[in-house]
Amino acid sequence: MNPVAENLLLIRERITKACAAAGRNTGDVKLLLATKTVPAEKIRAALEAGETYMGENKVQELAEKAEALQTIPHHKHFIGHLQSNKISLVLKYADCIQSVDRLSLAQKLQTRLEFEDRAMDVFLQVNTSYEQSKFGIAPEHALAFALQVQQFERIRIKGLMTIGLFSAETGQVRKCYRLLKNLQLEMTARGIPVHELSMGMSGDFEIAIEEGATMIRTGTAVFGSRIHPDSYYWNENK
Ligand SMILES: *Cc1c(COP(=O)(O)O)cnc(C)c1O
């Protein structure tokens, strides 16, 4: 069997187990594959194995792989830091932007969407670990931010996204995910439809599933390790 397909079986098993342990339905947790640095052919193997959600961190990689894989329908989410000068390109290829984290970006997104006479699905990214190195709106400003973004009628808020703390202390990791869940409850009570909770990665997604994740994002557990450290993707310009 193709190694990617083999890894996917293992991940699907882990998801099933975690959902059973948490008393949740396996079908309520989507698997998004984080495909940064992964060549299109490897992604094709995952698509052929039945996966449908792919996430890219860099606009250029999103564009290249979307072109290479255009004959296989799949969801393309943008999960990296989005610079506002890349908005038109990301809109051309992505069907959801999970990393909306500042008002200036939302404003420019709205303006461009108006110009193109269309709408876009987004998640709001929250910095639940409070690490300086990470992007995302501060948790205490998240509700006010969501209420502002909701005023932009071309932007459809669908969920919340976070990158949890990297730590062997699972209690600290869990805290991040619980915080995002609580923000979701607070926002839905205010009528903001943040039904998706995108949280959990290769090393910790069981915790995220216990805390209510509806979408987990895995890269290394499917495709193997990457040449660049993750800080290369998360801290640019920080
Ligand atoms: C790379 C990445 C992931 C996946 O990380 P792994 O540890 O490889 O599973 C998830 N989310 C974001 C935003 C990423 O950049």
Instruction: Decide: 55 and 37 in contact? Cβ < 8 Å.
Output: no
Give the strand pairing for 53-56 and 155-161. unpaired
- Residues 25-75 have pLDDT tens digits of 999 999 999 999 999 999 999 999 999 999 999 999 999 999 999 999 999
CA 10 to ligand 1 center in whole angstroms: 17
Torsion of CA 89, 90, 95, 101, to 10 degrees: -150
Checking if the pLDDT of 237 tops 60, the result is: no
CA 56 to ligand 1 center in whole angstroms: 9
Checking if the pLDDT of 232 tops 90, the result is: no
Residues with CB under 6 A from ligand 1: 34, 36, 57, 79, 163, 201-203, 217-221, 230, 233
Burial class (CB in 10 A: 0-12, 13-18, 19+), 197: buried
- Residues 100-130 have pLDDT tens digits of 999 999 999 999 999 999 999 999 999 999 9
Pocket test for ligand 1, best of 57, 201, 209 (most atoms within 8 A of CB): 201
DSSP-derived letter for residue 76 is: E
- Residues 164-202 have pLDDT tens digits of 999 999 999 999 999 999 999 999 999 999 999 999 999
CA 219 to ligand 1 center in whole angstroms: 5
Task: Report yes or no on whether pTM surpasses 0.75.
Answer: yes
